[in-house]
Amino acid sequence: MVWRRLRIAADTSLAALHFIFQIVQGWGDDHLHQFHIYGKDYGISYEGGIGFVDNPFRVVIDDFAFDAGDRFTYEYNFFEHWLHDIRVEAIYENSTLKAPFCISGHGMPGATAADEFDKTLAFLEAIVNADDETTVGEIRPFADDLDAVRFNRHKINRQLSRLDLASPVLEPKLSGWAVVAD
């Protein structure tokens, strides 16, 4: 089972939350998506895709007045129907949280234990077979392949820290690739 546990600020927009999910799941924003909250759909409208009435860059988590235990869904990739059950665990009043943060998680979408084993073995073999002339650049692809199939909280948090939530263009320019409302 693939899961994530996050801390986000109450003033996080739905558009920002979409890009946060892209980072924590290791995706590249290649598919359409939608949030389903209190019987209504929200998301970023794309030409040729579905449209939404509300501007997801202006609708923030706090607008929904969630209580601990409330749930909503996030659907990504309508062909595969990846439906994520989002649960608000806690709400912290007067929090100073600015950047989203991944507390914990498990698994990567589409990856199996065998994938992780194979990529780990390939990475370790690349290190063992390295010599004095081997560069980090030659080892890096093996590490990137491993990161694609293994949950890496530290890498995710580095990427989240670079996400400029105040930017009108939120999509992160990053290579490689449970919500708590604050």
Predicted pLDDT of residue 96: 82
Give CATH for domain 3-111+150-181.
3.10.290.30
| Average pLDDT score over residue span 142-154 | 86
Q: Whole-angstrom Cα distance, residue 73 to residue 66? A: 13
Q: Using CA atoms, how far apart are residues 50 and 45, in angstroms rounded to an integer?
A: 6
User: Could you report the per-residue pLDDT of 132-142, keeping only the tens digit for each?
Assistant: 999 999 999 99
Q: How far apart are CA 130 and CA 85, in angstroms?
A: 44
What's the pLDDT score for residue 33? 95
In whole numbers, what is the pLDDT of the chain averaged over residues? 86
Chain centroid to CA 121: 26
Rounded Cα distance between 155 and 24, Å, is: 9
